[in-house]
Structure 1
């Protein structure tokens, strides 16, 4: 019962964020990159969260910033989940030389530290949003592939796989018809937690001043707070709105990941039932 309530709460909160991101252009009263008031205005009916040291409306920046933050997280999660699931399924099910080549390549690539590489790319190459998401997704897919591979190795010894092979079905047919649906619950949960991770990572890069200055996001707002002395002056209207927005978004994804894992996995449901029956 608690997990069902957690799922509904997480889904409702995430849908609210998505709706705000889609309607941000209509909801925002001003262009977030244009000067719409005097510098450092306090919250008022004209500027709900006030303005920053450039005179830009903070409420408009918060609304428009949700787009880049959500896009950063979900695109990175899509790349890492899709690539990692594909590699994991091929490696675990085909085995042999294919498994050795893929696993060896993953072992080498996993030695590359993710955050330092992103910092170097951001400092020296100034890549765009898509390239950063691609690099993050590529590096994140390595761990995803190892997890999916371990799951597929256990599924490969199940009776339904032997029965499918006995019927003469090809390996690709078995992988796409039977293996992929079996690993889908794990893939979905990893996607949600991956989106949460990449959103926070993108905000962190922007906070360090390594994001795209032409794209408004919550990390850029916090960077302006830090560089403009907002933290030292205690200007809560500068930094609390993006902080609470990030906490709420991260919390919604955590609730969904927590609630979906046993709900989508029959094995976990059976283990839970057995645990209560033993009590």
Structure 2
């Protein structure tokens, strides 16, 4: 029982100190491994032995000995995938519905705007928690919910821009020469609102990243994918704050903050381009 409570690795690779701790026993070790197969025809591929211990990797390990640095690297493309997929799909839906609503008008405009108003006033986080609890915390479920509730804001703004462009001279000239409504919306109106749509696409990305991180931190994310929110959730569950394991909390938290700030700064940098009032006079 004493050996199991101390740990076999400490007894083999350590020297006991007076305070009960173990000092690492430096030296060269030769490890021999015997592998047995039940069938003679079984093949064994490349085998690698990794002795992680309790100090391993550039940013240490968690309680299970997993390298936190690798988890942070793996979580980076996942965060970008969630943010970009959500923002691109939401922007496409919002832009298309906003242009149609503003140009066509009538009952179509009324239906789109009423649906947008209803969806836009529904609190997102409680719905995310509810649907992920029912359908599971898979990434596609999170992205789908964020897209469904992410398009109304852009649709409302684009519609107001299209209403002002609808009475412009170039649109009236296109109507006079017999251009179809689809051609006018695609060739004349869309290029005028495209810079604003691009800026909103960039601005929506950090919102999706923060929403996924919040769900994962609450334990409602996909447990099979080590996202930054999952790393924070596992850290708090294992008492990393109380134990002072800062390397387990600060890196994923800072990455979430810096990634959000990066996209916000990009959107702010594009704002003078899409808003003529903010352009500096040269």
TM-score (norm 1): 0.79
CA distance in 2, matches of 1:220, 1:63: 13
1:197 deviation in Å? Answer: 0.6
CA distance in 2, matches of 1:229, 1:127: 23
Question: Residues 228 and 182 from structure 1, CA distance in 2 versus in 1: closer, same or farther, beyond 3 angstroms?
Answer: same
1:60 aligns with 2:75: no
1:195 deviation in Å? Answer: 0.4
Which of these two proteins has the greater Rg computed from alpha carbons? 2
Q: Which residue of 2 aligns with 1:148?
A: 158
Which structure is higher in RCO with an 8 Å CA cutoff and minimum separation 6? 1
1:265 deviation in Å? Answer: 4.4
Q: Which residue of 1 aligns with 2:270?
A: 260
Q: Which residue of 2 aligns with 1:166?
A: 176
Q: Which residue of 2 aligns with 1:251?
A: 261
1:1-279 matches, cutoff 5 A: 37-38=52-53, 41-42=54-55, 46-266=56-276, 268-269=278-279, 272-273=280-281
CA distance in 2, matches of 1:244, 1:204: 14
Question: Residues 110 and 252 from structure 1, CA distance in 2 versus in 1: closer, same or farther, beyond 3 angstroms?
Answer: closer
Q: How many residue pairs end up in the alignment?
A: 233
Q: Which residue of 2 aligns with 1:26?
A: none
Write 1 or 2 for the structure with the bigger share of helix. Answer: 1
CA distance in 2, matches of 1:259, 1:55: 42
Q: Which residue of 2 aligns with 1:17?
A: none
1:215 deviation in Å? Answer: 0.8
Q: Secondary structure at the match of 1:55?
A: coil
The gaps in structure 2 that reach 5 residues or longer are 1-49
The gaps in structure 1 that reach 5 residues or longer are 1-34
1:37 deviation in Å? Answer: 2.3
User: Does the 8 A contact of 1:185 with 1:265 survive in 2?
Assistant: no
Q: Secondary structure at the match of 1:52?
A: coil
Q: Secondary structure at the match of 2:62?
A: coil
CA distance in 2, matches of 1:70, 1:107: 29
1:109 deviation in Å? Answer: 2.6
Q: Secondary structure at the match of 1:140?
A: coil
Q: Secondary structure at the match of 2:224?
A: coil
Q: Secondary structure at the match of 1:219?
A: helix
Q: Which residue of 1 aligns with 2:10?
A: none
Deviates more, 1:257-266 or 1:173-182: 257-266
What RMSD over aligned residues (CA atoms) do the two structures have, in Å?
Answer: 1.7
